[in-house]
Chains A and B, each alone.
Chain A
């Protein structure tokens, strides 16, 4: 089976005067995937979404969405999109029901199908029975309504800009669960600076820094590519001596001490470390209270790629 690209950008560049918000970004998002677009504030995530949705035009390069060139496709591509901006703006005089019916109407949905979908989405957003106008909603309520309106057309591609930023922990969990439930049916592309959200639901991720994609691929692959393995060790005594012994081994590339006294060893061969460290501890005549070995998390990959140059 051929997997088609839901989003494909080629040398996509957006400049505002001398500043390049996006710089020659090549990105492919497979259809059916849940894709996390990760980057620190100001990295260019919202600019990218504005280009994908056709709200802004690229300075150079191209964006293809669901096989259409966004620059020329018009309504053909928008009919299959659902979009939640970072701060969704609503008509304050409408109710949630009004807005969902209005949004559905723009997609040409009407009658019983719209009735059923509006009821289901109001329920999903926790706004069923809320009769007050949107002007009186909290930011969290608006964010949930924003998610609901993005789903009104059962989109093939759902674009979410920082969708969890205004939600409380329960709302955030429910939204991430909902996104996960769309796996395989709808392509979800969401931008965020919250690493935990990406790690929890995404298949693939791109990390953006100062307008450039610095890493792109399945999460596991990224961690394998950029993530070195670490061993954390706690001993009952002679920690400095044990650390010095470990530092002589060829698989130990770096040995550091945590503030609590633990020894952190960056290793090239975690199996060798697991085998040899207990023997070294015994040889030093001391005891061992902890030995953890594992891969770096996405957070550490992120920090390694962009964190050292945080502005």
Chain B
């Protein structure tokens, strides 16, 4: 096996045998289960708690689209924040602990080191999101009696591109900033900037900034042009990982 494959295998085992197995999957599992329940019973809960204050206002009956919207909203906010914080140390933690020194004095290039990390953690995110989406889909079908797949899966997959883009961004930031907290702060700042930039429609239509709002539109069953945001998002993710490897190769450890 090549050094890349062995190191990627280590990353995968590290997920299985440390806190990484529980944190992101735990957060997504919680929302995958509670999202459809919240959507289904919001009317009853609000009615029980505030029936006197609603007056003429009628809460519409929930549909499966409300359940999908819950899932995508949680992915786009809390899950993304968690991802940014978790991956603030994706590279810098190995530098701080000295493990990078032991690995990189063996036949593993720095490029392989960075790419293996970005690849394994993107794959991990994909698995977790796919399982979470599957749970949401199943619970929605059970609670609402119908759960067409197109809206849910298209929005989840488009969000996955956004999530992978942030894994790549955090890989670069973790190479550039030696403090995990510092890199996480910079990541949250980038998220805020992209969210603001996405308000300018032409920019959102032709850049990865469109990935901010696309999942919500798709989950609501609206037509949306996904090609350019997804294509540029994938290309930007690849460019960020390349940049991370390129900077890492030039750094002193």
Contacts and interface: CB of A to CB of B under 8 A. Distances in A.
Interface in A211-228: none
Contacts of B14: 91, 93
Given A74-B109, A75-B3, A106 B101 contact: no
A93 B17 contact: yes
B54 interface: no
Contact of B107 (A55, A56, A57, A108): A108
Interface in B237-253: 250, 252-253
A14 to B, nearest CB: 9
A209 to B, nearest CB: 23
Given A75-B3, A106-B7, A93 B102 contact: no
Contact of A91 (B3, B6, B99, B107): B99
A42 interface: no
Interface string A216-249: 0000000000000000000000000000000000
A186 to B, nearest CB: 16
B1 interface: yes
Contact of B1 (A53, A87, A110): A110
B6 A105 contact: yes
A99 to B, nearest CB: 9
B105 A78 contact: yes
Interface string B12-39: 0010011000000000000000000000
Contacts of A74: 109
| A-side interface mostly | loop
B107 A107 contact: yes
A172 interface: no
A153 to B, nearest CB: 8
A102 interface: yes
B101 A93 contact: no
B164 to A, nearest CB: 25
Given A74-B109, A102-B6, A55 B103 contact: no
Contacts of A53: 105
B104 interface: yes
Contacts of A63: none
Contacts of B108: 75, 106
Interface string A23-60: 00000000000000000000000000010011111000
